[in-house]
Amino acid sequence: MKIGILTSGGDCPGLNAIIRGVCKPAIQHYGMEVWGIQSGFRGLVDDNVVPLEEKVLSGLLNSAGTVLGTSRDMPFKRRRFSASSEDKPSMMMKTIKKHGFDCIVCIGGNGTQDTAYQLSKLGVNVVTIPKTIDNDVEGTDVCYGFDSAVSIATDAIDRLHSTASAHQRVMVIEVMGHNAGWIALYSGMAGGGDIILIPELGYNIHNVGSKIIERLKQGKPYSIVVVAEGIKTMENKKAAQFIAEEIEYETGFETRETVLGYIQRGGIPTAYDRNLATRMGGFAAQLIEGKQYGQMVSLNGSTIMPVPLEKIAGKARLVNGDNDLIIQGKRMGICFG
Ligand code: F6P
C-alpha cells in the first residue's frame, strides 16, 4: 500500500508526533510506503510530495512544528474573481493518480475534515485525524493539540496571579478560540481564573464588574479574567483590550491585558498529546490496512474509534452551558459573564 499524509490548517504544538504516530506503524507493522505531502492540500495541488523514510521519523515525538509544513488552502472553496480555483480539485486528483496513492491521511481541523470529505466524494480514499488547538471538531471528545495549548495557557495564567496581587490589578488574558471557548474554559478553570468569558455563553460587562467589586469586598483587590478571542466586542477591538477597557470604566480598577496568541501553537506536545498521537495515528494506519476509508479517527470517552466523515463534515463542536466544568465552576463562585 502507498499512502500520502498531510497536515493542514492552523498548526499546534508537536504536529510531528502525529506524523510519527501514523508513519511508524504504517511502515514497520503494515509494510506500507509513506509519502509526505507538503503544506497541506496545497502540496496535492502542486504535486509537492516527498518519500518519508524511517530515518525521517526519529526524534519527531517530542519535537515542535510539522516536518510537512501546513497551509489553510481549501481547494474546493471557490475564491472570488479567481477562475483557477475550480481546477484545483482536478490538479489534486492528477497528483493522487500520478503517484498511485491508495489513501490520503489528512490531519487537521474543521476545514481539513470538510476538504477530505469533498475528496472522498470524488472517490479518493481518505482517513482523517482531528487536530486543532480549538478542540472544536464534531465527532470526537478531544482533538490533537488541545491539551498542549491548554497547558501553555494555564502556565501563563498561573504566572499572572502574582503580578495581579502584587499590583492589586485586574489581569485580562486572551486565549485562542474563535468560535469555541474550549481553551478559555479549560485553561481558565485549571489556572484558577475568577472570570471566564467564552463565545458560546455571551456576557454582561456589569456582571463582570460586580464580580470584581465583590472580590474587593472579600479582601481580594485583584482578579484574573480569561477571555476567548472570539467573544463579542465593539469597534472591532480585540477581546482582551475591549474587556480591560470596559472593566476599568466599570470598576475604576487598574487593568492590564495579555494576548497569548501564537505561543499556544508552538513548542513540544504534552505527554497526553504524545500518547494521543500514538493512539490516533496507529488507529489511522489500522483503518487503512482494513480499507476502512472515509472515516475520521475519534476519541469517544476513553475509546479510539472511527466516525464516518459525512457525519461530521460542516459541523463544529461548541461548549455547552451544561458542561460540568461550568456547573462546578459556578458552584465555586466563578463568573462566566
Ligand atoms: O485554528 C486555530 C487557530 O489558532 C484559532 O484559534 C485562531 O483564531 C486561528 O487559528 C488563527 O488563524 P491563523 O493561524 O490563520 O492566523
pLDDT tens column, 196-208? 999 999 999 999 9
Ligand 1 atom 9: residue of nearest CA = 10
Give the position, in ligand 1's atom list, of the atom nearest the Cα of 262: 4
pTM score = 0.96
Which one-letter DSSP state was computed for residue 264?
A: G
What average pLDDT score do residues 169-182 get? Answer: 97
Grid coordinates standing for 283?
A: 488507529
Could you tell me the distance, in angstroms and rounded to a whole number, from the CA of residue 184 to the centre of ligand 1?
A: 14
CA separation for the pair 191, 187 (Å, rounded): 6
pLDDT tens column, 223-280? 999 999 999 999 899 999 999 999 999 999 999 999 999 999 999 999 999 999 999 9
CA separation for the pair 144, 107 (Å, rounded): 9
What pLDDT is attached to residue 71?
Answer: 96
Ligand 1 atom 15: residue of nearest CA = 10
Task: Verify whether ligand 1 is closer than 6 Å to residue 183 (CB atom).
Answer: no
Residue 84 — pLDDT band, cuts 50, 70, 90? Answer: low
Task: Verify whether ligand 1 is closer than 6 Å to residue 134 (CB atom).
Answer: yes
Task: Verify whether ligand 1 is closer than 6 Å to residue 111 (CB atom).
Answer: no
Nearest to 140 by CA among 90, 182, 97, 194: 182
* Residue 260: C-alpha distances to residues 74, 148, 157, 187, 271 (Å): 27, 14, 10, 12, 22
Could you tell me the distance, in angstroms and rounded to a whole number, from the CA of residue 290 to the centre of ligand 1?
A: 34
Q: Cell match 489553510: residue?
A: 72
pLDDT tens column, 112-158? 999 999 999 999 999 999 999 999 999 999 999 999 999 999 999 99
Burial per residue of 104-123, b for 16 or more beta-carbon CB atoms within 10 angstroms, e otherwise: bbbbbbbbbbbbbbbbbeee
Residue 54 — pLDDT band, cuts 50, 70, 90? Answer: confident
Residue 86, pLDDT > 90, answer no
**Percent of the chain scoring above 70 in pLDDT:** 98
pLDDT tens column, 291-328? 999 999 999 999 999 999 999 988 999 999 999 999 99
Task: Verify whether ligand 1 is closer than 6 Å to residue 109 (CB atom).
Answer: yes
Nearest to 309 by CA among 297, 319, 299: 297
Indicate the helix (H) or strand (E) that contains 318.
Answer: none
Ligand 1 atom 3: residue of nearest CA = 10
pLDDT tens column, 18-47? 999 999 999 999 999 999 999 999 999 999
Task: Verify whether ligand 1 is closer than 6 Å to residue 12 (CB atom).
Answer: no
Task: Verify whether ligand 1 is closer than 6 Å to residue 10 (CB atom).
Answer: yes
Domains of the chain, first to last: 2-145+269-312 (3.40.50.450), 148-265 (3.40.50.460)
Active-site residue numbers?
Answer: 134
Residue 14, pLDDT > 80, answer yes
Give the position, in ligand 1's atom list, of the atom nearest the Cα of 229: 8
Amino acid at 225: V
Q: Which of 11, 72, 176, 263, when mutated, tests ligand 1's pocket best, judged by the most ligand atoms within 8 Å of its CB?
A: 176
Per-chain mean pLDDT for the chain: 96
The answer to whether the CB of 130 falls within 8 A of the CB of 297 is yes
Task: Verify whether ligand 1 is closer than 6 Å to residue 145 (CB atom).
Answer: no
Nearest to 221 by CA among 251, 245, 201: 251
What pLDDT is attached to residue 35?
Answer: 98
Could you tell me the distance, in angstroms and rounded to a whole number, from the CA of residue 133 to the centre of ligand 1?
A: 9
What pLDDT is attached to residue 55?
Answer: 87
